[in-house]
Structure 1
Amino acid sequence: MFIKIKKNYFLLISTFLILYFFFNLLDGERGLFSYFKKKEILINLQTEKIALSNKIKDLEFKNSLLSDKLDLDYVETLIREKFLFGKEGETLYIIEKNDN
């Protein structure tokens, strides 16, 4: 038995090394499957970053309407939205969103 192992020692070790490298190539922290998971996470984070930067730009624009030069039309729009305030003789219609 040991004689057969000694004769095929190189073949046995090379087979185990090939299997070891093959499994580490596919699986593991730096493997192929992990690469695709991390790539998907990166894409999701990039889209979230774009959405958040757009939201920041929108908020900065609204803030500039209130701070740099006071935009009275925007202030009136805010008052109407927040306090449901209308002018005399004006009829307010509240439309509730129905997602059916």
Structure 2
Amino acid sequence: MFFKRRKLGTTYTRSPAQNVQTAMAGNFSKVVFTIFIIITYLVILYVVVGIIRFLGTEFGNMPQETRVIDLYNSPYNFPVKVAGIVFIIFYVFRDKMTNR
């Protein structure tokens, strides 16, 4: 169902339904993009933790039986995950006024 623009004098106005439709389309794409970026961020973080585990076991005094998933789920890594996710959400959903 398409809505026609009404002419008010020399300018065109949009109906409220068109404004809602535009806002929903923009926000839906932002949500999908945010989910994709967060998953990518968590995968990259897992790879970085794997590199840290390798360097710690080969050159440091970290035990050889340390698993990457244990380091990834450790309380020390939790703030890094949360801070990254909050930053991504803030970056994607920031106000349009800051985009100028």
- Which has the larger Rg? 1
Higher relative contact order (CA 8 A, sep 6+): 2
Structure showing the higher strand proportion among its residues: 2
Structure showing the higher helix proportion among its residues: 1
Question: When the two structures are superposed, what TM-score results if normalisation uses the length of structure 2?
Answer: 0.44
Question: When the two structures are superposed, what TM-score results if normalisation uses the length of structure 1?
Answer: 0.44
